[in-house]
Structure 1
Amino acid sequence: MSKEKILIISHGHPDLSKGGAEVAAYNLYQEYKNRGIDCLFLARTDRPAHGGSTFSTRNDGNEILFHTHMGDFFLFQNGYKKHVWQDFKSLLEQYQPTVVHFHHYIHMGLELIKQVKKSLPETRIVLTLHEYLAICANNGQMVKPGNQMKLCYKSTPSDCATCFPDKSASDFFLREKYIKSVFELVDHFVSPSHFLIERYKEWGIPESKMTMIENGQPQVEFLPPRPLTKGEPRGKFAFFGQINPFKGIDVLLEAFKALPEEIREQVHLDIHGANLEHQADDFKDKVATLLEELEDTVTMHGSYESHEMGQLLAQTDWVIIPSVWWENSPMVIQEAYKHGRPLIGSDIGGMAEKIIDGETGILFRARNHIDLAKKIEDIVEDSFFWEYFVENIKKPLTIRECADVHLKKVYL
């Protein structure tokens, strides 16, 4: 049994927030707990606490909800300092973890990292980077604000100030200096993709302090192929994830609209996602219009639970990831591979790294619905593609293997 005492910190609890980072953090915690390792899971929530307390417990008592918020999203600073300097400090001093593993700092504040170093200077601090928030003030997307959403290849204070006219180049220079001063307190960084490591290396984090570790997946057997009727092609496609402009759902719908009529009659797209109602009106109107035009070809199902993924994929031939931003390591890629389903994805960022074009799936030119439509047409007309890709899919890193790498390589 490990002598480690591990505190895992996430910006959300998967019971309350369904993001991939939250699930990855919780899966790791559950694996440690199953091994008998002394560990706690601290997850931030925006739900009010009973009696106004800072912490409350969930499930077995080793899962703690942190009722706090961030007051400054530009500098990632907590909105209620007592939560950091007194309450979080007290938790650290009582639990005395040997490792504090942050899976995020948004909604909680970078001060938590500073507090760990101040209260427990010998404790090892690990931070998993799930996106580019430290580098990019535009929600960590590295996409320029505006309708065109142009991809950003490298941040500089002057370029960032152009994107945000209310801030000066000096503001962004000082922002970078502040974040890097906190990151210097981190002993090791973990990234689920090599692409993200390259971005942070260019930004200034030493490569020697970073390790690429995939988000571990529960171990399951490949799903059997979806049963086909006589003459039916592999034409069932699915999208999983948040519905917002960055995820490229409009590109996906435009692609299905552009399909030749004889192909469109042979395919169907299922959209499993949520939060369309929270998007800007022009985006909602665009998606609503496309859905109406494609009512016989596309079905909108709404949100789903993670435990439903296998059942949904059993009815699917292909998973499509049409994101227009770089992504890092979308959880849906690992989910699809885990169940033995090939992918079609944008040829940028973590998608281009994880989907081996022509081997485990197909890449299309990002943001180009015509290219995506052509790729869909090709694979519907030739069943060889699906069978060949499935044969080449390797099972992704398991949660057990993921935990082993952390314990043997990162936490020491």
Structure 2
Amino acid sequence: MARKRIRKPAARRKITVPAARRKGITAGRRRLGRRRGPVLKRTKPVRRHAQIVTSALPVPALNLPDVPHFAPAPPSERQLSGTKLSILYLVHCFFPESYTGTEKFVLNMAKDMQRRGHRVKVATYSGLVPDDAPLAFGDVLAYEYEFEGIPVLAYRHRRHDPAQAAGIGDHSLLALAEVILTREQPNLLHVGHAMRGMEFVQAARNLGIPYVMTLTDFWFACPRSNLLRVDKQLCAGPEGGAACMMHCQIPYAADRLNVQLPLLLGASRILSPSVFLASFVKQALPDLAIEVLPHGIRPETVAPNTKSYGKGSSITIVYGGSLNEHKGVHVLIAAMAKIRARRLQLHIYGSGEPEYANKLYKAAARDARISFRGPYAEGDLPRIYQEADLAAVPSVWYENYPLALHEALAAHVPVLASNIGGMAEKIVDGLNGYTFRAGDASHLAERISMVARDPSLLNGLKDHIRAMPLPTVGVEADAYESIYFTYAR
């Protein structure tokens, strides 16, 4: 794909989003509102911005257990015979309503299995299911649609969001799950995320349908999913539910762990894309056997960035993702306020929670070097990473396998990342990027200033990245297909 440099947008340019982008795959992320700030341009950057003050997050001392990496078995006779399977994927939300990394992982696997001749379907919760939906099971409504050729069954509860429920066993959801599993007769259920759908896991167990699980966040160990306490500090784990009550006032956490554990133990296989995520969940639930199986990248979605740098080169930092507080974009803007370099720009892609996004717009309002460029689709990635010299992943939570980080590395763009969770697992300081203390705008500013003073540092980083190829979606799908054939009924 041809590469091109992107001109800096004119002041106050109106951002428009084509329809194809609004309903296409994005690398970023859940639809939480489309409000965006203007692209801003002034003649002089200023040094200080009000309303955002950041400092390093206290990181709990963690003594995490070792976890093994998944080792695929040789193809079985059943697999070699050309037998085709029926696979039902379960996920807590899905395209086009929601499009975070978990949804993209499920879509990637469903598409790849469909190309291999297997019959696939996605079951998902959706707030968009209409009141007159054709399927009704007590308090649950459902309807079917297709997304990019993948059949989808979407359901919702009339009375409440099941994500807020303390336990498992909603009779209407269980009835829906049993009817769907009986009708579809899948050889196997693959759980991409069990929030709002543990009744499908219970129904599969009741009906003797094998299931495998992929952990994509900390939901089984943390009712809030992100291991951030209500005081915005990092959590060291549920401690059997005691920490959930003490720090987040969640009284049912202990019962929740006890109810879920039998269903987790009933899984034929539990996989995690990152070592940190697998280790943390195993620390909270020691009886689980969890293996590491990294997510893959579709090489066709990115183009290698071949820029080289001299001492006077300009630097463009790119952030791509949701504009939500746990993603730490405020840390990035605060760091920019501490740097006087004029040959430095920050392009922010994505949308998110309006109140937080407005704080970001105000914090950046007087800095000509910062522009908000709105939501983006997968098709935009080659262009975005051609304009990038550094990619930023400034999250203030334990990211487990940040998709934006891997997209940047696949495009041979060095990464600035917080030094916690799966981010620290993937970025080796001074090798394929630089890490900084999570939440610490001053430390991040030091890292950016170091590169701004000597952009030629990026040349060595890019050489190392080229020598460290990432797994592809095809390799990931090969591994999952071997798992399916091992356990499918």
TM-score (ref. length: structure 2): 0.75
Paired residue type of 1:336: A
Please show how residues 93-132 of structure 1 align to structure 2 within 5 Å: 93-106=182-195, 108-119=196-207, 121=208, 123-132=209-218
Q: Is 1:82–2:172 an aligned residue pair?
A: yes
SS at match of 1:329: coil
SS at match of 1:271: strand
Within 2, Cα distance between the matches of 1:354 and 1:60? Answer: 31
Pick from 82, 87, 97 the counterpart of residue 6 of structure 1: 87
Paired residue type of 1:136: C
Task: Name the one with the larger helix percent.
Answer: 1
* Shift in CA distance, 411/241, structure 1 to aligned 2, threshold 3 Å: farther
Please show how residues 225-304 of structure 1 align to structure 2 within 5 Å: 225-226=306-307, 232-259=312-339, 261=340, 263=341, 265-277=342-354, 279=355, 283-284=356-357, 286-294=359-367, 296-304=368-376
Q: RMSD over aligned Cα, in angstroms? A: 2.2
Within 2, Cα distance between the matches of 1:98 and 1:151? Answer: 40
Pairwise CA distance, 1:227: 8.0
Pick from 337, 351, 357 the counterpart of residue 423 of structure 2: 351
SS at match of 2:122: strand
Match of 1:140 in 2: 225
Please show how residues 386-397 of structure 1 align to structure 2 within 5 Å: 386-393=458-465, 394-397=468-471
Structure 1 stretches of 4+ moved >6 Å? none
Q: Is 1:163–2:247 an aligned residue pair?
A: yes
* Shift in CA distance, 205/68, structure 1 to aligned 2, threshold 3 Å: farther
Pairwise CA distance, 1:88: 2.5
* Number of positions where the alignment pairs a residue of Structure 1 with one of Structure 2: 391
Paired residue type of 2:344: V
Pairwise CA distance, 1:309: 1.3
Within 1, Cα distance between the matches of 2:484 and 2:83? Answer: 14
Match of 2:118 in 1: 37
* Shift in CA distance, 232/42, structure 1 to aligned 2, threshold 3 Å: farther
SS at match of 1:302: coil
Within 2, Cα distance between the matches of 1:352 and 1:194? Answer: 11
Match of 1:308 in 2: 380
Pairwise CA distance, 1:144: 1.4
SS at match of 2:297: coil
Structure 1 vs Structure 2: percent identity of aligned residues? 21
Structure 2: any 5+ residue segments left out of the alignment?
A: 1-81, 135-141
Pairwise CA distance, 1:90: 2.0
Within 1, Cα distance between the matches of 2:485 and 2:405? Answer: 27
Within 1, Cα distance between the matches of 2:409 and 2:294? Answer: 13
**Conserved 8 A contact 2:91-2:124:** yes
Paired residue type of 2:246: T
Pairwise CA distance, 1:75: 2.6
* Shift in CA distance, 399/223, structure 1 to aligned 2, threshold 3 Å: same
Pairwise CA distance, 1:206: 3.9
Paired residue type of 2:210: R
Paired residue type of 2:393: I
* Shift in CA distance, 202/227, structure 1 to aligned 2, threshold 3 Å: closer
- Per-residue CA deviations over 1:36-91 (Å, capped at 9, x if unaligned) read 12222333321124832313121577512312143352536576x33431x33222
Match of 2:24 in 1: none
* Shift in CA distance, 72/396, structure 1 to aligned 2, threshold 3 Å: closer
Higher relative contact order (CA 8 A, sep 6+): 2
TM-score (ref. length: structure 1): 0.88
Paired residue type of 1:405: A
Match of 1:375 in 2: 447
Pairwise CA distance, 1:270: 0.4
* Shift in CA distance, 60/153, structure 1 to aligned 2, threshold 3 Å: closer
* Shift in CA distance, 12/25, structure 1 to aligned 2, threshold 3 Å: same
Q: Is 1:398–2:472 an aligned residue pair?
A: yes
